[in-house]
Amino acid sequence: MTLLTLTGLNVSIADGTDRIHAVRDVGMTIARREIVGLVGESGCGKSTLSRAAVGLRPAGVTVSGSVRLDDTELLDLDHRTLAAEVWGRKVGFIPQNPMGALNPVLRIGHQLTEHMRRHLGIGAREARTRAADALAATGIPAPVAALDKFPHELSGGMRQRVAIAMALACDPALLIADEPTTALDVTIQAQIIDLLVTLCRDRDMAMLLVSHDLPLVLQVADRVDVMYAGRVVERAPSTGLAERRAMPYTAALLDSVPTLSGPQPVRLPAIGGTPPDLRAAPRGCAFAVRCGHADAECATREPTLQPVRGDDHLTACLRPLEAKTPVIGEDETAPETAADRAVPVLRATDLVLEYRVPGRPSFRAVDGVSLELHEGEILGLVGESGCGKSTLGRALTGLIRPAAGTIEHPAGETADVQLIFQDAKGSLNPRRSILDVVAEPLLYAGRGTTRERREEAASLLASVGLDPEVLGRRAPRRLSGGQAQRVAIARALAAKPRVLVCDEPVSALDVSVQAQIINLLMDVRTATSVSILFIAHDLAAVRAASDRVAVMYLGVVCEIGSAEEVLGAPRHPYTKALVASVPGQGGRLRASLSGEPPAPGDPSSGCRFQTRCPEAVPECAITRPPLVDLGPTQAVACHVVAPSRQATGVSPS
């Protein structure tokens, strides 16, 4: 039974004097109780499509074609009718950023009931009961008490649950979830996706799940639409799509996502280029310029969706792939790196880092971390937000002075640690040209004349794969995210660092670009023997990039070892849970951890992880487990896995 039918949908967005044709002639159906995934890089039109699919037409956006929900043509209805009868009533929305979707000055209960009373015409008391039920259904502990809270009193995961409860409140037939978990930590991500799928099954809802994360979508959706340049380019059941994909774009998307299974790749296969500008309709296949399989015909004729393998698997491709063809990237043997010799260049011992807020007890973000970084090695540092990984990274660059403990540089002086930021563009002075940005550290070091510095900057730009002739004179705002990160890396290299601290360097980038940046960092390491601390929350990206991995939880390192050991055979219960919550490892997604981290900085005694740990024993509440070596490289801080002989002798600092 069809719930939503889109026919010949075109969406164009006014942009100054031009129009961007963000969605071009898309047809789609969603049946009742069906979960449909919509996937693509940013700028491919998936969010625009998901909004137009429920009749949402903000100023400047023109929608043509047909959108039928049940038997109603939504494009015939005006905004007021849609708001009264469709949105929130028949269609529920789940936002990417729940904080933005909740009114910060109104209590949760007020926001939930207002909505229900308007749509369902029920009284205040009944609405409150139903609101509490909806909150309970989303797994919020103490739902009645939560009704009287303000949004800022809840964590990100809890806010997303409230936003889901709001979407569920009027029993819609269709949920639109636009990147519902992108802003959340991995363990929370798995919980929320689990919840959405369970709710859809229990309440007979259909869902359009918009995401850039293809492995995630493949695990939960019944069917997947892959979008590129405003069109659906592949449509297939998600089961087995990883092997059966026909469109090279889908294959490239799948291949460029790092995984936790299989051998650790030497380089990640990356898709070059970016999606086309949609001001003018592309000639031929829009993907042809980035496609390794394109021929002359692809450049002139734009393909339409046609069945390839059975009636339910369609693709818009003139040269569809055979099932299971490796598209890009072959395995290489890893070059020997300086990391194999384990010469330490940076050593932190019992490091304690605190933030002082006047009038309040200081907040301890890092609580006794000892870490060694070897020459030419990439050390991954993972953990959920608030675990102190960024604070640790900044302390290693000298930006934060430790409250206790030491940072030593056994190999050289102190000014040789550089930092790469998540927001690469924000880290480049918007008033300088790219060339001057890269030359900055040379200026600070007082090296050469302006002209010599620019020449050196140009060669650095070339070394990170950018053309200085084309980009050197540009302002940073005209760079794409990936280019900006390359410029930031070139600038850091100009300072001739021994250590690069990369703080979430790829998490703001599209998967295809992510792979390029990770490859670049690995190349830089090989070429310059620089050591890299790769801070990220994405375990698969860390595995792809790192030689060794350290896992942090609430200010302490709970497991450290080679990437293969820690992420392939994790020992600490927290690492196990983190690894299990990553999608794309075959099998269904498991929400492996319940609950959320306690408020950071709360100095309860014993193991930090005890409140969420499935294996906790009484000992865990009393003493803090020290890091105990399990092998030549792997060490774990856990009473259960690695009982410490002198556990009682370790002070919980």
Partner 1 sequence: MPVEQGTPSAATTVTSPDPAPAGTPARRGAGRGLGPGALVALGWLAGLSVLALLGDALPFIGDPSRMTSLPYEPPSSAHPLGTDEIGRDVLSRVVYAARVSLPIAAGAVAVAMLVGGIIGLLTGFLRGTVDEVGQWLLDVLVSFPPLILAMAVTAFLGRSPVILAVILGLLFVPPAARLVRTHTMATSTREYVVAARVLGASRIRIVFREIVPAVVPHLLAYAVLAASAVIVIEGALSFLGLSIPPPTPTWGGMITAARDGLAEAPHVLLVPVAVLFATVLALNGLADTLRSRLVETR
Binders of partner 1 in range 16-35 (CB under 8 A)? 16, 18
- Return the residue of 40, 88, 276, 376 that touches partner 1, per CB under 8 A: 276
Please give the residues from 489 up to 548 whose contact with partner 1 meets the rule CB under 8 A: 491-492, 495, 513, 515-516, 519-520, 523-524, 526-528
Instruction: Tell the smallest beta-carbon distance from residue 564 to partner 1 (Å).
Output: 22
SS3 call for 363: strand
Q: What tokens appear for 62 in the block?
A: 């023109």
Q: Which is nearer to partner 1, 123 or 272 (CB)?
A: 272
* CA atoms of 328 and 330, how far apart (whole Å): 7
Q: Which is nearer to partner 1, 189 or 427 (CB)?
A: 427
Show the binding pattern over residues 471-490: x = contacts partner 1 (CB under 8 A), - = does not: x---x-xxxx-xx--x-x--
Total interface residues for partner 1 by CB under 8 A: 73
What is the DSSP-derived secondary structure letter of residue 153? G
SS3 call for 388: coil
Give whole-number Cα distances, 129 to 88, 112, 117, in Å: 18, 11, 12
Please give the residues from 408 up to 427 whose contact with partner 1 meets the rule CB under 8 A: 415, 417-419, 421, 423, 426-427
Closest CA to 25 of 246, 235, 176, 229: 229
As a whole number of Å, the end-to-end CA separation of the chain is 62
Q: Which is nearer to partner 1, 134 or 392 (CB)?
A: 392
* CA atoms of 464 and 530, how far apart (whole Å): 15
Instruction: Tell the smallest beta-carbon distance from residue 483 to partner 1 (Å).
Output: 6
Phi/psi for 492 (5° steps) reads -60, -40
- Return the residue of 24, 161, 290, 571 that touches partner 1, per CB under 8 A: 290
Q: Is 284 in the site for partner 1 (CB under 8 A)?
A: no
Q: Which residues contact 457 (CB under 8 A, 6 or more apart)?
A: 435, 436, 438, 439, 442, 468, 472, 490, 494
Instruction: Tell the smallest beta-carbon distance from residue 361 to partner 1 (Å).
Output: 20
* CA atoms of 364 and 645, how far apart (whole Å): 28
Instruction: Tell the smallest beta-carbon distance from residue 318 to partner 1 (Å).
Output: 16
Instruction: Tell the smallest beta-carbon distance from residue 274 to partner 1 (Å).
Output: 6
Instruction: Tell the smallest beta-carbon distance from residue 288 to partner 1 (Å).
Output: 8
Give whole-number Cα distances, 228 to 235, 255, 282, in Å: 12, 16, 12
Q: Which is nearer to partner 1, 252 or 541 (CB)?
A: 252
Q: Which is nearer to partner 1, 375 or 565 (CB)?
A: 375
Instruction: Tell the smallest beta-carbon distance from residue 471 to partner 1 (Å).
Output: 6
* CA atoms of 52 and 499, how far apart (whole Å): 48
Instruction: Tell the smallest beta-carbon distance from residue 512 to partner 1 (Å).
Output: 9
* CA atoms of 574 and 640, how far apart (whole Å): 12
Which residues on adjacent β-strands are paired with residue 69? Answer: 4, 72
Q: Which is nearer to partner 1, 4 or 419 (CB)?
A: 419
Please give the residues from 293 up to 312 whose contact with partner 1 meets the rule CB under 8 A: 294
* CA atoms of 463 and 523, how far apart (whole Å): 10
Q: Which is nearer to partner 1, 277 or 340 (CB)?
A: 277
Show the binding pattern over residues 230-269: x = contacts partner 1 (CB under 8 A), - = does not: ------------------x---x--------------xxx
CB 184 within 8 A of CB 149: no
Q: Is 433 in the site for partner 1 (CB under 8 A)?
A: no
Q: Which is nearer to partner 1, 229 or 589 (CB)?
A: 229
CB 225 within 8 A of CB 38: yes
Instruction: Tell the smallest beta-carbon distance from residue 105 to partner 1 (Å).
Output: 24
Instruction: Tell the smallest beta-carbon distance from residue 478 to partner 1 (Å).
Output: 6
* CA atoms of 313 and 305, how far apart (whole Å): 9
Please give the residues from 28 up to 87 whose contact with partner 1 meets the rule CB under 8 A: 43
Q: Is 291 in the site for partner 1 (CB under 8 A)?
A: yes
Q: Which is nearer to partner 1, 220 or 378 (CB)?
A: 378
Q: Which is nearer to partner 1, 238 or 531 (CB)?
A: 531
Which residues on adjacent β-strands are paired with residue 369? Answer: 351
Q: Which is nearer to partner 1, 68 or 432 (CB)?
A: 432
Q: Which is nearer to partner 1, 474 or 590 (CB)?
A: 474
Instruction: Tell the smallest beta-carbon distance from residue 225 to partner 1 (Å).
Output: 22
* CA atoms of 420 and 533, how far apart (whole Å): 10
* CA atoms of 56 and 88, how far apart (whole Å): 12
* CA atoms of 225 and 385, how far apart (whole Å): 31
CB 3 within 8 A of CB 174: yes
* CA atoms of 310 and 639, how far apart (whole Å): 54
Show the binding pattern over residues 434-473: x = contacts partner 1 (CB under 8 A), - = does not: ------xx--xx----------------xxxxxx--xx--
Residue 417: exposed, middle, or buried by beta-carbon count in 10 A (0-12, 13-18, 19+)?
buried
